[in-house]
Structure 1
């Protein structure tokens, strides 16, 4: 079944590269909901997420000739949506949480981490209450599966800053969840 789906998607991508609007619409239908959910996780505003998703599809179809199957079409499109979402946030001038040089404590551990015992709704509510920079790091690392090197590239920060921000975000998330 996976090869069938992969083949179908590849044929849709190839047809879309040729300008076939029907194939483009089918790809859009396959991915629009997932891409919207990603946009919402980062932006939190329905209209902004919708705009970002539309812009992402337009850019993806314009640049489809550069898609070389080094990843799945969905992963490629997801990266576009994430980058556009983060750029949108930068335009709004919503920076990562400020950190001083003396705050880089990468060995900081969270002991007796109660997150495993908490239902997913509290975790989602906790993520929504995080400062934007922390929320972005949590979304990229935990939900989107990026590693710290990739996060650094996407956000324009160092790998150690990504790690430090992630540990702080995780600690802050636990604090928030414990107050819910």
Structure 2
């Protein structure tokens, strides 16, 4: 079943490369909702996420001739969406404070979340994430929701790996504080 699904997507990409607007629309239909969610988790604003989505698909369709299908179209478009989202944040002058190693060790020694804290409903956590400072939310989203490691996040955001780790740990701590304030944590 999965092979048929993958073959269909490869076929759609091939048809798009040949100029089929119907195939382009079908690819958009298949991936738009998931990619909007990716953009929204990073930029935190629906209107901006919609803009990122449209610009990302325009980029993808304009550069489709360069897509060599060494990966799936979904992974390729996701990378475009993530990069566009990060560029938007850079335009907003995203500021992440670089930390030295000693400060990083002090933060790493603190217990931020235990396993029970991670059992909260996704909706409550997502709402709390919206209240995080932008830098925290971006790193947390890229790490937990998009699956990037700290080295990759550092490259994407043009920060050090340690800064990514620091922002992630601070984001988790702040998220815990927000959930406690809202009465979600016992």
TM-score normalised by the chain length of structure 1? 0.92
CA-atom RMSD, angstroms? Answer: 1.7
Map of 1:51-90 to 2, 5 A cutoff? 51-90=51-90
4+ aligned runs moved over 6 Å, structure 1: none
- 1:108 paired residue number: 109
Equivalent pairs counted in the alignment come to: 179
d(CA) in 2 for partners of 1:111, 1:179: 16
Residue 83 (structure 1) shift? 0.8
The one of the two structures with greater contact order (alpha-carbon pairs below 8 A, sep at least 6) is 2
- 1:171 paired residue number: 173
Gaps of 5+ in 1: none
Change (3 A) 1:31 1:117: closer
Change (3 A) 1:111 1:92: closer
CA shift digits 1:55-84 (9 cap, x unpaired): 000000111122122321111101111110
d(CA) in 2 for partners of 1:99, 1:169: 15
- 1:6 paired residue number: 6
Change (3 A) 1:111 1:103: closer
Map of 1:99-138 to 2, 5 A cutoff? 99-101=98-100, 102-105=102-105, 107-110=108-111, 113=114, 114-138=116-140
- Are the counterparts in 2 of residues 31 and 74 from structure 1 also a CA contact under 8 Å? yes
- 1:143 paired residue number: 145
- 1:92 paired residue number: 92
